[in-house]
Structure 1
Amino acid sequence: MKRKLKAALLFCALFGLGGLHPLQAAQAKKDVPPSGKHAKSAVKAPGSKPVAAKAKAKSSKQAAKPSGKVRKVVAADTPRKAVRPAASFDDPGRLALYSSSALVIDQTTGHALVEKHPGTVVPIASISKLMTAMVVLDAKPDMHELISIGDEDVDTLKGSRSRLPVGTTMTRETAMLLALMSSENRAANALGRHYPGGLPAFVRAMNAKAQALGMIDSRFEEPTGLSSNNVSTAHDLARMVAAAARYPEIRQFSTTAEAKVEIRGRVQEFRNTNALVRSDTWEIGVSKTGYISEAGRCLVMQARVADRPVVIVLLDSNGKMTRVGDANRIKRWMESAGVALSRRSA
């Protein structure tokens, strides 16, 4: 009997079960995970999870946090920088605009909704033609009077092409339509040349109009915008666009999608340089594009976006379609941020 007791004690000591009752020792032995080639299948059988592993995972969750999911615990343990929604009204910088200068003004409140270097003085190219149109209309000329395209209207500065040959005659109204809609340089220059006092008087009137509108950082040298000395800022141009929107002729001509005009006995079709005027998703009141190498691609508009009137100015955009892309990004942002915009305006 003593020999059997000693053998049992030795067995318990060898298997680390000393101090347990023989029945407890037998149960504990069953709970020891197997080793060898059967160990892997015992830990996790295909398509299932062992009861012991499930219990362990559950206890770990409870130990980490009394309630909630493991995902939340991990997030708390490894804090990340908060990501603000792309449509957040407080962060228009997330628009990632490709234009070097940009400005969006809410005309109802006068607040700037988007600003990107709005005070930088830059060449403005054919955006100048909005000022040209205003100065012509302010003089109250006969819009049905015939004016002609002369040698003086040919672009010798940039060598740009025109569909208006020297000697072409048209009404002043048609010349303004082509200057604003399809950005015809010869038509714009002819409008200035036929102004009382000629081109010198016309340019003086352009600069006087700019000063009267509070465009203190703007200067005009000629009517077309071909000169890089026609300069302004996004802030100043927002004033100019808002002023241009008060002229019914400018609103009509600058947003005309296309027109057929008889040039020297031949009917030609002219199209608007801003593709957005042909889009059903845009409600545009005034539009003008511009481009020379020094100015990059420019676009200004007065439009209704997210049920509010706005002025949009985009200057010096790289790439042929990036100014249009910027305008669409601004529109989507305003529409998705409509609630925040309404709160800001209230």
Structure 2
Amino acid sequence: MSRVVRLGALALLLSILVAAWPPRPLLAQPAAPAVAARAAYLVDFNSGRVLYEMNADEPIPPASLTKLMTLYLTYEALAQGRIRRDDLVPISERAWAQNPELWGSSLMWLEPGQKVTVGEVMLGVAVPSGNDAAIALAEKLAGTVEAFVSQMNAKAKELGLENTRFVDPHGLSPENRITARDAARLAIRYITDFPQALTELHSVKEFTYPQPHNLSPDKVRRGTQPIRQENRNWLLWSYPGADGLKTGYIEEAGYNLIATAKRGDMRLVAVLLGTESEAAREAQGTALLNWGFENWTSLQLFPADRVMGRVRVWKGAGDQVDVVPERPLWVAIPKGSEAQLVETVSLRKSVVAPVRQGQVLGEAVAVLGDEEVGRVNLVAREAVPPGGFFKRLWDSIRLFVAGLLARWL
């Protein structure tokens, strides 16, 4: 048998073996954890992928999780220039810590006549979860609590919180309603729109108030002492990477938590509604976050500035345009399955000028097995205006001839 024949036979045998060899099986989805709560939800912040959910659409009183919406609207007012952090906040009788409606609840210990700024009251809402502070912000922003609650519900609708209803700015009423899914959506938008809130407010472990500059000279002379209070989110002490977000409790709800933690490039947002105690809330939050970090990985497949290809431009000042992702494409997949991720890119063959910056010209899709795990539009990186008269005329002729040839052939 000649050497050529032997090599051909060997190649044929190898091709048969490769074709017959079973493909590497996909890793199974991580087994769901057992969570002791009325409702629970875990989501990867970067990709938005839901990693775990239980009773995610059951409306439950949010308790002090309500204050996230109060703070969202406050940050929004700051961003719009309607208020400043050093603006003074008038303290009304309703926002006074001695208001009978607030007795026995968490307080910042505000009282009429104090000189306290927006920034200080925001800390009073976030760290000791002051119900008096939430009322003070509501009145500062909208004039009355009732007007502010209307703004809260309008913003909830705008953010797509389909099963959420607020009746106060602090969460004391059992008539407030939220679901675990909506709570996660609110948290993600809050962190996305105002990431500074994590360092400015929610990772702060303690808050002391009032300080001498908050008090009248008479109160200072009488030796009014500041009150030191700790953040009620125990995960800030016990869980590596935790930097927020908010706890809540009323009897009708149980012990609630929105927690967020970041390790490396991966940030998780966990929601627990209706745990049995403060200790159970911390333990269940720890277990849910641990399950997420131990079983999942968050990957950025395409940064927003990555050129994914070029598209031919007819009748334009330029002959082609670079195409980039509309936003960074992140995916969350089970650990160990990275090698099985398949990415595909589809682009238009050509486009006629003018081309707008950001115009959709294709898409990129990430697939793991039979599951699509990510998709992003691909857009023009820059605008391409129409070319001059002769450029447009010449390209029109070329397109006309190409069309004729396509029909004939």
Same fold (TM over 0.5): yes
Q: Secondary structure at the match of 2:168?
A: coil
The answer on 1:146 being equivalent to 2:84 is no
Aligned counterpart, 2:240: 282
SS of aligned partner of 2:226 = strand
- Work out the CA distance in 1 between the residues paired with 2:70 and 2:116: 17
Q: Does 1:298 align with 2:243?
A: no
The number of residues matched between the two structures is: 256
Q: Is the 8 A contact 1:129 1:224 kept in 2?
A: yes
Cα distance in 1 for residues equivalent to 2:38 and 2:53: 11
Q: Which has the higher contact order (CA 8 A, sep 6+)?
A: 1
Cα distance change on mapping 1:89 and 1:336 into 2, 3 Å:
farther
Give the secondary-structure state (helix, strand or coil) at the position aligned to 1:118. Answer: coil
1:341 aligns with: 334
Given that 2:236 and 2:243 are in contact with CA atoms closer than 8 Å, whether structure 1 keeps it comes out as: no
Alpha-carbon displacement from aligned partner over 1:193-252 (angstroms, at most 9, x marks no partner)? 112332222111111110111001101111110111111101111110011113144222
Residue in 2 that maps onto 1:57: none
1:255 to 190, 197, 203: 203
Instruction: State the TM-score, normalized to the length of structure 1.
Output: 0.68
Mapping of residues 104-253 of structure 1, within 5 Å: 104-140=42-78, 141-153=83-95, 154=97, 156-157=100-101, 159-161=103-105, 162-167=107-112, 168-245=114-191, 246-251=193-198, 252-253=200-201
In 1, are the aligned partners of 2:259 and 2:285 still within 8 Å (CA)?
no
Distance 1:283 1:173 in 2: 25
| Cα-to-partner distance string for 1:323-346 (whole Å, 9 max, x where unaligned) | 110111123323432477233768
Task: For residue 123 of structure 1, give the secondary structure of its aligned residue in structure 2.
Answer: coil
Q: Secondary structure at the match of 1:99?
A: coil
Q: CA RMSD in A?
A: 2.2
Any gaps of 5 or more consecutive residues in structure 2? 1-27, 298-332, 338-367, 375-409
Give structure 1 stretches of 5+ with no counterpart: 1-87
Letter in 2 for 1:334: G
Tell me the percent identity: 28
Q: CA deviation at 1:165?
A: 4.5
Question: In the aligned structure 2, how far is the partner of 1:119 from the partner of 1:182?
Answer: 29
Higher-helix-fraction structure: 1
* Distance verdict in 2 for CA 1:163–1:308, change over 3 Å: closer
Amino acid at match of 1:104: L
Q: Which amino acid aligns with 1:221?
A: V
More strand by share: 2
Q: Does 1:271 align with 2:230?
A: yes
CA-to-partner distance for each residue in 1:164-197, whole Å, 9 max, x for gaps?
A: 1422331111011010111011011110011233
Change (3 A) 1:163 1:134: closer
Q: Which amino acid aligns with 1:90?
A: P
What SS does structure 2 have at the residue aligned with 1:170? coil
Query: Residue 302 of structure 1: SS of its match in structure 2?
Result: strand
The structural deviation recorded for 1:278 is 2.2
AA in 1 matched with 2:203? T
1:322 to 280, 304, 309: 280
How far did residue 157 of structure 1 move?
A: 4.0
Deviation at 1:99, TM superposition (A): 1.4
* Partner SS state of residue 74, structure 2: helix
TM-score by length of structure 2 reads 0.58
For 2:241 and 2:40, the matched residues in 1 are separated by: 20
What is the distance in 1 between the residues matched to 2:288 and 2:75?
A: 31
State how far apart, in whole Å, the 2-side matches of 1:126 and 1:328 are.
20
Residues 158 and 178 (structure 1), Cα distance of their counterparts in 2 relative to 1, 3 Å cut? closer
Write the deviation string for residues 66-108 of structure 1: whole angstroms up to 9, x where unpaired.
xxxxxxxxxxxxxxxxxxxxxx84321xx32111100001123
Q: Does 1:90 align with 2:56?
A: no
Is it true that 1:100 corresponds to 2:38 in the alignment? yes
Kindly provide the amino acid, as one letter, of the partner of residue 93 in structure 2.
D
